[in-house]
Amino acid sequence: MSDTGNGSACAKLGELIDGLGGLVDRRGACASDRPVSGVSSDSRQIGPGSIFVAVRGFITDGHLHIDSAIEAGAVAIVCEAYPAELRDGVCYLRVTESRKALAELSKNCYGNASDQLMLIGVTGTNGKTTTARLISSMLNAAGIPAGYIGTGLCRIGNRDIELERTTPEPNGLHALFRQMVDAGCCAAVMEVSSHALVLDRVHGLRFRSAVFTNLTPEHLDFHETMEEYAAAKRLLFSRLTDDGFAVLNADDPQAGFMAAGLPNDYLYCCSLSGNSSLCDSDHRFRAFISASTVEGSTAEVTFGAQSATMQVPLPGEYNVMNMLEAFAVGISLGLDPAKALAGLAESEAVPGRMERIWSADRSRCGVVDYAHTPDALQKALETLRAVTPSGSKLSVVFGCGGNRDRKKRPEMGRIAAELADRVILTSDNPRDENPELILDEVEAGMAGRVHLRISDRAEAIRRAVEGLGTGDILLVAGKGHEEYQEVAGRKHHFSDRETLAACFAEVHFEREVKEQS
């Protein structure tokens, strides 16, 4: 299903024009009582009665598709420059910024549904999905119906809607908000990407809470520098409501930058190291990990003058931090601590996030994780190294995506070579690049370390499973929840989770046959 979901839109053109900021001029048939059926910046989504917003994109300029939109039934065109010829019967609206106009029109077209929801935004490089899903689960368990919007998925009650983007375009986003309100939701928890912030997909939204997970190098093909990337993330904290509050990973060096300018009363700090000086003492959340295995962690949590035990069904310090930040959101909203922790402990595992898949006799463990950045790969390997039994080995299968930041490739090769006992390089989503050239760049960081190179991802996973001994752990990193592999511009079905489970079953069967013979 597309980003737009099934939300219904109905408005009069005059009402939408009245709420349109940055309007410079109007021409043509702009009758106020003219009905509008929807809004989109994609001419392929335009139908009779729609408004087409011409946005200057990175691949194409929406102004080039105005005629196509009109032929598809658009009754109004929003643009930054009028076309050479204006058609009869069409309303033309010239604005200063088309992207913001798209957000404003979408919000109004869907009845300002976002204003009827308590919005909680989660931003950062890693951990957004896990943290946002934890928060939504906690709120639902506490009797606050909450929808979720994030990587690949929108969840409204028991219904899942597939998404193409972490943060949909405004028309799709506000359609989802409308569906949430109609389904009885009181809150929406959403991942907010840096692209969405810079490209005004969340323009006009006000958040009751903004959560910062961490910042590490990523998307530098888009933002170019870490300073620009950090500034993009910080935009979320400028969109808080008057009573809104920020929850920060105080252990991250960028926490202070995110908090700059926000009153102390609205800052809540989470820390595993005790680094929480940004916040008042009663706004500090500290977790001490008392036990950790591949099955999960136990942490003792202090907040203000209170303390509690937190069960984290995932291994690793970063997952303790994810749950600690979700817990801080709950406490800041006034939830009972015991109920908040119970709701978090009952949360469903997020597919492809430290997802464990065992051999039939549970003597060998495979872990599928979305780690596709140097920092995420390092944390995943360090976490699994810490819980790998003495005398057993840690293996990793990974690659790097094409048409993305090339600088991270040798760095990820170096990390794998240093932290894993066995390394198998393979293809990720090569997209439009040559898979072998991508692997060449990954190998450049491995300093000659012995490894296998198998570009066929299914074969690489199988070889890794065949090489596992008792107690060994295998990390399959990079694609996580994804159920496709993109090669030469086409997506083919492929799931690390399915492939790993099938390989465990096949190898176990082959070993049984061999033993019996």
Say if 11-109 and 113-345 have the same CATH topology: no
| Per-residue pLDDT at 2 exceeds 50 | no
Instruction: Please tell me the least confidently modeled range out of 156-170, 209-223, 263-277, 342-356.
Output: 209-223
| Per-residue pLDDT at 364 exceeds 80 | yes
Return the bridge partners of 159, or none.
156
Instruction: For residue 498, give the amino acid letter.
Output: E
* Interatomic CA distance for residues 176 and 166, integer angstroms: 13
Mean of the per-residue pLDDT values of the chain: 92
What is the β-pairing status of strands 490-493 and 484-487? Answer: antiparallel
Q: Which fold has domain 355-516?
A: Protein-Tyrosine Phosphatase; Chain A (3.90.190)
Domain 11-109 has CATH 3.40.50.1370: no
* Interatomic CA distance for residues 263 and 278, integer angstroms: 11
CATH class of 113-345: alpha beta
* Interatomic CA distance for residues 409 and 373, integer angstroms: 9
The radius of gyration of the chain from alpha carbons, rounded to an integer in Å, stands at: 25
Instruction: Indicate the DSSP class of residue 115.
Output: G
- Report the length, in residues, of the chain: 517
Q: Apex CA 465: angle with CA 461 and CA 467, to 5°?
A: 120
Binding site: which residues? Answer: 43, 124-130, 166-167, 193, 201, 404, 428-431, 478, 482
Binding site for meso-2,6-diaminopimelate: which residues? Answer: 404, 428-431, 478, 482
Q: Where are the alpha helices (DSSP H) in 93-203?
A: 98-109, 128-141, 170-182, 194-198
Average pLDDT of span 13-25? 93
Task: Encode pLDDT of 169-205 as tens digits.
Answer: 999 999 999 999 999 999 999 999 988 999 999 999 9
Per-residue pLDDT at 59: 81
pLDDT band at 438 (very low <50, low <70, confident <90, very high): very high
Binding site for ATP: which residues? Answer: 124-130
User: Quick one: the chain helix, strand, coil %, rounded to 5?
Assistant: 35, 25, 40
Contacts of 373 (CB under 8 A, 6+ apart): 125, 126, 216, 217, 218, 408, 412
Percent of the chain with pLDDT over 70: 95
Q: Give the start-to-end residue ranges of the domains of the chain.
A: 11-109, 113-345, 355-516
Q: Which two tokens stand for residue 480?
A: 């996580």
Q: Which helix (H) or strand (E) holds 312?
A: strand 306-312
pLDDT band at 405 (very low <50, low <70, confident <90, very high): confident
CB 53 within 8 A of CB 41: yes
